Amino acid sequence: MIKSLYVRLVLTFFAAVLVSLIVGFLITIQLYNDQVTKIFEETLISSGKTIIDSYRKSSPDNRDVLIQGMRALPNYSIRLFDPEGKPLHETVHTLYDKLHVSSEQLKTVLGGGVYRSEQEEEFKNAKVGLPFMIEGKPYALFLTPNADEFIYVIAILLRTEVLIVLCLGSLLIMVSAIFIVKPIKRLTHATRRMGRGDFSIRLQTKSVDEIGQLTQSFNRMAQELGALDQLRRQFVSDVSHEMQTPLQSIIGFTHALKQKKLDDAGRLRLLTIIEEESNRLSRLTADLLQLSSLESEHSKLEISAYRLDEQLRNVLIVLEPQWSAKKIEIELLSDELFISADEDKLNQLWTNLIGNAIKFTGERGSVQVYTAVRQHHIEISIADSGQGIPSEEISYIFKPFYKVDKSRNRSIPGNGIGLSVVKRIVDLHSGDIQVTSEEGVGTTVKIILPQDRSSTQ
């Protein structure tokens, strides 16, 4: 089996050219055989008329000399018949150019008819018979071309042309194949490097053909895989960081409990911290499992119709301990609004977003939740008067574990996964999420859901 693309290209070219030449030659002969035969016949008729005219004008004593001169004509074989059908003169140039005339053909010409070759005969076998009268008596002249040498020369020319085409074409295709295969070899080498984990490789190309498009696609794939690998590394680092901190706390306080003599109050304080850190780990693993489930290809929505305004109101009631403790003013502005969506997932979405708004809003701040029905979609906005988000960081807040607070202190609880879950739920509902924020003023998160999933009553 030939494994080299270069060799396969060259051999394919050889075969294609050879087959094309052979088939083309056969088709050409078939198509133009009739035309060439007609040309030969017309030439024979014209030459025959000239011979007849010369034969008529010559005296009987000089006709033998005339025929002897005709023998010098290299292009034709000639036979002349008298009224009784007996051959008077003939010219024979080779052993194989004997001009054969049947009795039926001779009878036709002596009777005044012109004989032409049969339609299926090849042009090299073209033959004509011409009648003429001398002193009131019928005579017949038959001519045929001596085409063997002509055909032999044409065959040599064709073979020579085929050899030149094959040799020159092969040389050109061998050179061209090098340039065709070269970028593929570069792609193969680059793919191997990528397989070893090197996603920084990029291939330069100025071509706009299929190879160029493949190279550009490879570069995009390398870039995306590099970004994905970087995200994976960052994800592992973030998970490790998020888990390491509570684990260290649990281990440290457990050692303290084992080694120190503590009163009941001190022991209870340490056990409370251990419990809080354990709960933190539990929430982290639960959020990771939920994010993984939402990002799975098998994640499906359980669509049902329900009151969206009632769902938002229930979420606010559930979160009342959080906003009432900070004396935050809560406002819900929504008419009766029905929606067809996954109720459980949207409930989690509102819980995360409203919970974030409450979390980042200071004492005696405000949080507003309001809805609006547009022509092709509905909008649910959640606005707070919290600390805000720097504009350059808004595009990153939906990445797992991303926190605007780079110090990652625990003054504000959370692991940075909630907004990733929100974004995935919105995507599953074919919606969009927009965030506008100003530091020190507040943040507004707008959820946009398609109109075909909702209706108002």
Average model confidence (pLDDT) for the chain?
A: 77
Helix (H, G, I), strand (E, B) or coil at 77: strand
**Which residue, chain included where needed, has tokens 């911290």?**
273
Q: What pLDDT sits at residue 406?
A: 46
The pLDDT of residue 94 is 47
Confidence of residue 207 (pLDDT cuts 50, 70, 90): confident
Confidence (pTM)? 0.47
Q: What is the pLDDT of residue 70?
A: 58
Residue with the bigger pLDDT between 321 and 245: it is: 321
Pair 110, 131: CB distance under 8 Å:
yes
pLDDT in the model for residue 410: 46
Stretch 257-272: mean pLDDT: 78
Res 457 pLDDT > 50: no
Domain borders along the chain are 5-151, 210-293, 301-456
* Greatest mean pLDDT among 16-25, 72-81, 138-147, 311-320: 311-320
What's the fold here for domain 301-456?
A: Heat Shock Protein 90 (3.30.565)
* Structure-model confidence comparison of residues 237 and 312, the more confident one: 312
Q: What's the token pair of residue 180?
A: 């065709």
Average pLDDT (177-190) is 79
Confirm or reject CATH 3.10.20 for domain 5-151, answering yes or no.
no
Q: Is 312 exposed, middle or buried (0-12, 13-18, 19+ CB in 10 A)?
A: buried
Using CB atoms within 10 A of its CB, is residue 433 exposed (0-12), middle (13-18) or buried (19+)?
middle
Q: What is the pLDDT of residues 80-132, one digit of tens each?
A: 888 888 887 776 554 444 567 888 888 888 888 888 876 555 556 678 888 98
Q: Where does residue 97 fall: left (phi above 0), alpha (psi -120 to 50 degrees), or beta otherwise?
A: alpha
The pLDDT of residue 453 is above 60: no
Predicted pLDDT at 370: 92
Give the mean pLDDT of 287-296: 66
- 174-185 average pLDDT score: 77
- The span from the CA of 4 to the CA of 11, in Å, is 11
Instruction: Report the range of poorest mean pLDDT among 374-378, 398-402, 425-429.
Output: 398-402
Among the listed residues 274, 249, 245, 272, the one whose alpha carbon sits nearest the alpha carbon of residue 401: 245
List the single range of 171-175, 235-239, 340-344 with lowest mean pLDDT. Answer: 235-239
With a CB cutoff of 8 Å and minimum separation 6, the contacts of 44 are: 76, 126, 127, 128, 143, 144, 145
Domain 5-151 identical in fold to domain 210-293: no
Tokens of 421: 């879950």
CATH architecture of 210-293: Orthogonal Bundle (1.10)
Max avg pLDDT among 2-6, 176-180, 421-425 = 421-425
Give dist(CA 318, CA 351) in Å, integer. Answer: 9
**How far, in Å, CA of 82 to CA of 100, rounded?**
16
Is the pLDDT score of 297 beyond 60? no
How many percent of the chain have pLDDT more than 70? 78
Q: Given its phi and psi angles, is residue 430 left (phi above 0), alpha (psi -120 to 50 degrees) or beta?
A: left
The confidence score (pLDDT) of residue 150 equals 65
Average pLDDT over residues 306-314: 91
What distance in Å separates the CA atoms of residue 179 and residue 209, rounded to the nearest whole number? Answer: 13
Q: Find the mean pLDDT for residues 67-80.
A: 64
Do residues 215 and 205 make contact, with C-beta atoms less than 8 angstroms apart?
A: yes
Q: Is the pLDDT confidence value at 446 over 90?
A: yes
The reported pLDDT for the residue numbered 455 is 42
3-class DSSP state of 408: coil
Alpha helices in 196-263 (DSSP H): 210-259
Q: How confident is the model at residue 313 (pLDDT cuts 50, 70, 90)?
A: very high
The predicted-structure confidence for 29-64, as pLDDT tens digits, reads as follows 767 666 767 777 777 788 778 877 777 777 666 666
3-state SS track over 304-357: EEEEHHHHHHHHHHHCHHHHHHCCCEEEEECCCEEEEEEHHHHHHHHHHHHHHH
364: left (phi over 0), alpha (psi -120 to 50) or beta: left
Asked if pLDDT for residue 367 goes beyond 90, the answer is: yes
User: What is the predicted pLDDT for the residue at 299?
Assistant: 62
What whole-number percentage of the chain has pLDDT above 90?
9
| Among candidate residues 384, 356, 352, the one with its CA nearest the CA of residue 369 | 384
- The reported pLDDT for the residue numbered 294 is 66
